[in-house]
Amino acid sequence: MAFFGLTALGAQNPFESLAKSHAILNIFTLDEFREGWDAVAKGNSELELSQIEAVLHFVYHGPAPEPELILFKEKLGLDRTTPITWPEFATAYEDLVAKIEADEQSLSGRLGSAATYTSYDELCKAKDKGIKLEYGPKEKLVAPLTAVQEFGWNAHESVEKRTIHGKKSCPETIYASELYKSGMYF
């Protein structure tokens, strides 16, 4: 659903927009990729597979999201040794955009790949049975969905592991231990 034609301002489904597998390649035009191609190729008619990341960096005005890099590299061939021409790149882009748009029309595209359940009833049944999910939110999402999830999202990066050594005994426990040993306190 578009609001005054502004469709590139974010997905309406947070599970879809924050999923690690979500691609937004279709918000850019082929002309924008041509500008990126020309900026990276600098007059050459071909690029190496390793230079595709630089083209995406130009188009995205920063590091390209991981799903887009993976999509392009898989479409063009991961073990490719021959250079890539502009027509090959343009065909790959058009195929990927068609696939993304088809996925958005399907039910799985609307739910997003980060959604585990398709209904509230399924969620309740799994909760009642005590079924633990195979993957947590950190493995499925690039950022927390809610403010509550922000706490602890990057906890492992900032918390240092410390060993805590408790007291073996204090005056109160020594006194209570002696009372118990003497038989006065049961």
| Residue 178 within any structural domain of the chain | no
Please report the pLDDT score of residue 9 as a whole number: 59
Please report the pLDDT score of residue 17 as a whole number: 64
Q: Which domain holds residue 45?
A: 14-111
Residues 83 and 127 in one domain: no
| Residue 167 within any structural domain of the chain | no
Helices (H), ranges, the chain: 14-18, 30-41, 52-60, 66-76, 86-105, 107-111, 120-129, 137-140, 147-150, 155-158, 171-182
pLDDT digits (tens, 9 = 90+) for 125-161: 998 998 888 877 777 777 787 777 777 777 666 556 6
The number of domains in the chain is: 2
- Three-state DSSP class for 100? helix
Residues 107 and 124 in one domain: no
Sign of CA dihedral 1, 63, 147, 16: positive
Are the C-beta atoms of residues 75 and 91 closer than 8 Å to each other? no
Look up the CATH number of the domain holding residue 87.
Answer: 1.10.238
Residues 96 and 131 in one domain: no
Residues 73 and 154 in one domain: no
Residues 98 and 24 in one domain: yes
CA distances from 132 to 87, 126, 150 (A): 47, 8, 21
Sign of CA dihedral 18, 23, 27, 32: positive
Q: And the tokens for 166?
A: 């408790």
- Residue 181 is which amino acid? K
Residues 107 and 21 in one domain: yes
Per-position pLDDT tens, the chain of length 186: 445 555 555 556 666 666 666 677 878 888 998 898 899 888 888 888 888 888 888 988 888 887 788 888 888 887 778 888 889 988 988 998 888 778 766 655 455 566 778 788 988 999 899 888 887 777 777 778 777 777 777 766 655 666 777 667 888 888 888 888 888 765
pTM of the entire structure?
A: 0.54
Please report the pLDDT score of residue 21 as a whole number: 62
